[in-house]
Amino acid sequence: MQDYRMWVGGDWCDAAGGATFASANPYTGENWARFPRADAQDVDRAVEAAHLAFTEGDWPNWTASARGAALTRLAGLITEEAERLAEIEVRDNGKLMAEMGNQCRYMANWYAYYGGLADKVEGHVPPIDKPGVVNMVHYEPLGVCALITPWNSPLLLLAWKLAPALAAGNTVVIKPSEYTSASTLELMVLVEKAGIPPGVVNVVTGFGAEAGMPLVTHPLVRKIAFTGGESAGQAINEAAARDFKKVTLELGGKSPNIVFDDADLDAAVPGAVSGIFAASGQTCVAGSRLLLQESIYDDFLARLVGMAKAARLGDPMAPETNISPVATRAQHEKVLSYIETARAEGARCVLGGKAARPEGSGGHFVEPTIFVDVRNDMRIAQEEVFGPVLSVMRFRDEDEAVAIANDVLYGLAAGVWTRDLTRALRMSRRLQAGTVWVNTYRSTSYTTPFGGWKRSGLGRENGSEAIKEYLQPKSVWLAEPVAVANPFIRR
Ligand code: NAD
């Protein structure tokens, strides 16, 4: 059992009350690490440290170039440590080492990108409509930002928030998922090595109600950046609204993956498999509704089932494993209950549909599961399962595909497979989603915005626009002094 401590004001510390909680390895099922269990008192200490670092000391005097240089150093340190960080993530969330290794190496790009962007955010001088006046617009940081992350991609989703928040000059308090706190704490060693001053980045570990909500409602917190489920997102949005705090919310999805009859099936079949079964379906962008055009339906389905059936369940550290465990027992039960609901609603299971446990594992697996005869009004087609469960539907033409695709409460992402460029453009315009992939799926990048329509979220992460989510404009008026004849009339 490894003992971790929280990172507050540049010191490693325990919870004030001394409480702890444990984190289990989803593959072995055994607890491997212990963390301080923060409550409102610990959150207050962390927010005060962040507030102090924002208002006094070195950080407020750092130039944007100095902040950028520190982020660039952090990117280099992450690259050196990527394998080790990925191993910790696998131990905590059970996802494949092959995926988490790539993710941790790629994640360094966010720090390099926003490091480069830090001193390229320019204000402007509007041609103001008053004589003898110069008006300047500066972009200033917000203050203390609360960064709350989920368990499925802890360090990557933190990078989407932490890199722009620091580039913009804010200070932060991070609350990682109670299931995956270790990698975020390990990152703090690198944050310190990169020369980021004490108190600029703080981490409290604990649960949503005990640590997350006190962080959201703390009066000194000015912004909340959250990735997670819909119900927590709703609670955070409501609490933030009461104090007029800014929010960025990255929530769930029920993304359509649409295959037209002119698609390159050699690309589309693996695209559909990876869209839903990669990470055991535990991704916000999972292509959990597969829409197949009538004329290719049977052929596509046969190839899809063949490929999914061959997927190997096993140890996420082993390179030959394709399907990793579901991260928690609660999530496992939720996925299985959706499978039962789908059956009860009349969907037909053509692959999987059961729990599994490969030899040597003490964890919880679900077989890759495919349902056909799904109607779009069934719960399995409308609600996020967050597991390896695919709903397949058929469509006649473009209009019907669009109608089915958009008929959900979510709008995070959509996939389109076609060789017809004009159709691709039309579909990308008509689909209600923050991201549309044509002939690819699951790609994200630090250079392009990511976020959801409808109940999938608010605001955008990534790309050059995202830094504005951590800045506020200030309008400064410089006037030549003039004697005013009548001070009661505005100039
Ligand atoms: P979750 O909402 O249970 O928890 C996310 C984080 O919020 C955790 O740190 C948790 O402790 C905290 N939290 C929970 N309740 C809270 C509250 N009331 N106040 C403050 N903090 C609270 O989500 P999860 O199960 O960890 O993650 C899975 C969900 O995340 C899925 O719905 C998935 O779609 C979503 N997700 C979205 C994206 C995206 O970018 N859109 C990416 C990954 C995951």
Structural domains present in the chain: 2-251+456-475 (3.40.605.10), 256-438 (3.40.309.10)
Q: Is the pLDDT of residue 491 over 70?
A: no
Choosing from 48, 89, 210, 250, which is the catalytic residue?
250
What pLDDT digit, counting tens, does each position of 9-65 carry? 999 999 999 999 999 999 999 999 999 999 999 999 999 999 999 999 999 999 999
Say what the pLDDT of residue 484 is.
82
Distance from Cα 155 to the centre of ligand 1, integer Å: 14
Q: What is the mean pLDDT of the chain?
A: 97
Residue 490's pLDDT is 75
In percent, the amount of the chain with pLDDT more than 70 equals 100
Ligand 1 centre and the CA of 246: distance in Å?
18
- How many angstroms does the Cα of residue 210 sit away from the middle of ligand 1? 15
* Buried b / exposed e along 430-463 (16+ C-beta atoms within 10 A): bbbbbbbbbeebbebebeebbbbbbbbbbbbbbb
Contact 293, 259 (CB under 8 A): yes
Q: How far apart are CA 335 and CA 157, in angstroms?
A: 23
- pLDDT surpasses 80 at 385: yes
| pLDDT, mean of residues 419-433 | 98
Atom 9 of ligand 1: nearest residue by CA position: 177
Which residue would you say has higher pLDDT here, 57 or 165? 165
250 is catalytic: yes
Q: Is the CB of 249 inside a 6 Å radius of any atom of ligand 1? A: no
What DSSP character marks residue 312? P
Could you report the per-residue pLDDT of 442-487, keeping only the tens digit for each? 999 999 999 999 999 999 999 999 999 999 999 999 999 988 888 8
pLDDT digits (tens, 9 = 90+) for 226-249: 999 999 999 999 999 999 999 999
Best residue for ligand 1 mutational test, from 284, 328, 450 (most atoms within 8 Å of Cβ): 284
Q: Which of 148, 173, 237, 462 to mutate to test the pocket of ligand 1 (most atoms within 8 A of CB)?
A: 148
Q: Is 284 a catalytic residue?
A: yes
Give the model's pLDDT for residue 362. Answer: 93
Query: How much is the average pLDDT of 109-131?
Result: 97
With a pLDDT cut of 90, the percent of the chain lying above it is 97
Q: Binning pLDDT at 50, 70 and 90, where does residue 489 land?
A: confident
Neighbours of 481 (CB within 10 A): 6
Please name the residue that has the structure tokens 């008929």: 407
Average pLDDT over residues 276-289: 96
Please report the pLDDT score of residue 250 as a whole number.
98
Q: What is the CA radius of gyration of the chain?
A: 24
- Residue 227, strand partner residues: 250
Ligand 1 centroid–CA 137 distance in Å is: 36
Contact residues for 472 (Cβ-Cβ < 8 A; gap 6+)? 139, 140, 141, 142
Ligand 1, atom 26, lies closest to the CA of 150
